[in-house]
Homo-oligomer: A and B are copies of this chain.
Amino acid sequence: MSKHKRPEVDARLSKIEGHVRAIRKMIQEDRTYPEIVHQVAAVRASLDGVIEVIVDDLIEDCAASAKKGNFISDTVLELQQVVASIR
C-alpha cells in the first residue's frame, strides 16, 4: 500500500477542515451568498488537489515497484478503484 504522501494528504485535509469552519463563520457574519459560494468552490478545488496527490503517490509507487521488478497489480487495482470513485 502506497504511503509516501500521506502526511501531505493529511496536511491538505487539515487546511480544508479549517476552510470549511471559516465558511461557517461567514454565514454567522451574514456575508453574501456569492462570497460564500466563492469559498465553497475553492474548497471543492482543494479536494481535487487532494485526489491529485493520492493519484501521484499511487503512480510513483507503481513506477518504483516496476523498477524493482516487483508485482504492481495491487497498486494498479488501487489506481483503478480511485479513478472509478472520481468519475
Seen from chain A, the residues whose Cβ lies within 8 Å of a Cβ on chain B are: 1-3, 6, 9-10, 13-14, 16-17, 20-21, 23-24, 27-28, 30, 32-34, 36-38, 40-41, 43-44, 47-48, 50-51, 54, 57-58, 78, 81-82, 85-86
Contact = CB atoms under 8 A, between A and B. Distances in A.
A44 B47 contact: yes
A36 B41 CA distance: 21
The interface residues of chain A, by DSSP majority, are classed as helix
A33 B54 contact: yes
Contacts of A58: 33
A30 to B, nearest CB: 8
A82 B17 contact: no
